[in-house]
């Protein structure tokens, strides 16, 4: 009796392994889609579209990009997590979705870490702290000295409460004991024009959003919010150089699939993404969009990033006194 039970269990186990293997060998069996929780034109959308065509060639199926903006990305996440866990639908997410929402939203319909499985980081970039053209500082040390000389006098614009822009600046303020008034806007489409016109003294934004104004001398770019200088913009120092250890709030776009997706499928996706991200023409396109390929790709590196970001942003939210909505 025991022998029959053992043999039966082995048969079931073998069937499960075989089924997974067959599924992976047949993947992809149909076109793929990348769901982006933002409107067309932003960094996640741009990166998804740069990857899509070549990724489709690598996998032998077309890859389409679908934009589902609004609700802090919750609607897009729900569509992907409730879909088939077969690798054919991916989510292009960033730290706002796996770390910031977790501490700024009073109630979420999902647990991102449990409901989504990491595939790979797709791109890496900095946000840049800039000042109005007539601001009395042209570098990081001068900026900090000017703020300390007149506490409570200066203002900074962000893309809204709880945005990466807001939390980066709050970490900068608290780390250095700076008193700067926060003025929230609805995205960089509002905060950057406010900076250029002098309505706020400083703002933090993606380089592509400010480079034109910087070239005209209407604003001055001071520093980036990543731990190290970006390879594509080495002239700008990290904000942490002002005296902050491990100051690091990068913009990272990453791909996820629903939990339960077979590991061989995730491995196949990660390998194809890594191959595409190493192609010189793809790197050129990413750089033109103001981002770089990640130094480390794959599911393990992304899982580590998610865990790191959760701790980092929880700390900043507590320090800034942001209450969950």
**pLDDT in the model for residue 24:** 66
Contact yes or no for 209/192 (Cβ under 8 A): yes
Q: In the chain, what is the greatest distance between 2 CA atoms, to the nearest angstrom? A: 86
* Alpha carbon distance 209, 73 (integer Å): 21
Residues of the chain with CATH 3.40.190.10: 127-242
Please give the CATH number for the structural domain made up of 127-242.
Answer: 3.40.190.10
Tens-digit pLDDT string for the chain (325 aa) = 444 454 444 444 444 444 444 456 789 999 999 999 988 888 899 999 999 999 999 999 999 999 999 888 999 999 999 999 999 999 999 999 999 999 889 899 999 999 999 999 999 999 999 999 999 999 999 999 999 999 999 999 998 888 899 999 999 999 999 999 999 998 888 999 999 999 999 999 989 889 999 999 999 999 999 999 999 999 999 999 999 998 999 989 999 999 999 999 999 999 999 999 999 999 999 999 999 999 888 999 999 999 999 999 999 998 888 888 8
Which distant-in-sequence residues (6+ apart) come within 8 Å of 146 by Cβ?
A: 135, 136, 137, 154
Which distant-in-sequence residues (6+ apart) come within 8 Å of 199 by Cβ?
A: 157, 183
Which residue is it, tokens 């806007």? 185
Cα separation values, 15 from 8, 10, 18, 146, Å: 11, 8, 5, 68
**pLDDT in the model for residue 2:** 46
Cβ burial 236-251 (10 Å sphere, 16+ → b, else e):
bbbbbebeeeebbbbb
Residues of the chain with CATH 3.40.190.150: 2-124+250-320
CA angle 95/46/59 to nearest 5° reads: 95
**pLDDT in the model for residue 23:** 59
Please give the CATH number for the structural domain made up of 2-124+250-320.
Answer: 3.40.190.150
């Amino acid at each position: 009796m025991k022998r029959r039970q053992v043999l039966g269990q082995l048969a079931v186990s073998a069937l499960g392994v075989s089924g997974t293997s067959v599924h992976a060998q047949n993947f992809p069996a149909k076109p793929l889609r990348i769901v982006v929780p933002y409107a067309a034109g932003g960094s996640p959308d741009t990166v998804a579209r740069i990857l899509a065509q070549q990724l489709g060639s690598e996998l032998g199926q077309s890859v389409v990009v679908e934009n589902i903006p609004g609700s802090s990305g919750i609607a897009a996440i729900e569509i992907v997590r409730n879909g088939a866990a077969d690798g054919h639908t991916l989510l292009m997410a960033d730290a706002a979705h796996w770390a910031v929402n977790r501490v700024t939203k009073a109630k979420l319909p999902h647990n991102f870490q449990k409901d989504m499985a990491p595939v790979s980081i797709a791109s890496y970039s900095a946000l840049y702290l800039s000042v109005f053209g007539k601001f009395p500082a042209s570098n990081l040390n001068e900026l900090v000295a000017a703020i300390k000389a007149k506490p409570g006098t200066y203002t900074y614009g962000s893309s809204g409460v709880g945005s990466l822009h807001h939390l980066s600046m709050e970490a900068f303020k608290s780390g250095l004991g700076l008193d700067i008034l926060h003025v929230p806007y609805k995205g960089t489409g509002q905060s950057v024009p406010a900076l250029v016109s002098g309505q706020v003294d400083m703002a933090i934004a993606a380089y592509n959003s400010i480079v034109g104004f910087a070239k005209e001398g209407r604003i001055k770019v001071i520093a980036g919010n990543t731990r190290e200088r970006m390879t594509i913009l080495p002239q700008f120092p990290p904000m942490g150089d002002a005296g902050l250890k491990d100051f690091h709030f990068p913009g990272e776009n990453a791909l996820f699939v629903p939990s339960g997706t077979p590991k061989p499928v995730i491995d196949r996706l990660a390998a194809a993404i890594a191959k595409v991200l190493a192609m010189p023409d793809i790197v050129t396109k990413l750089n033109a969009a103001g981002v770089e390929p990640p130094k480390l790709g794959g599911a393990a590196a992304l899982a580590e990033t998610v865990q790191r970001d959760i701790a980092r942003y929880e700390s900043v939210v507590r320090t800034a006194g942001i209450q969950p909505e």
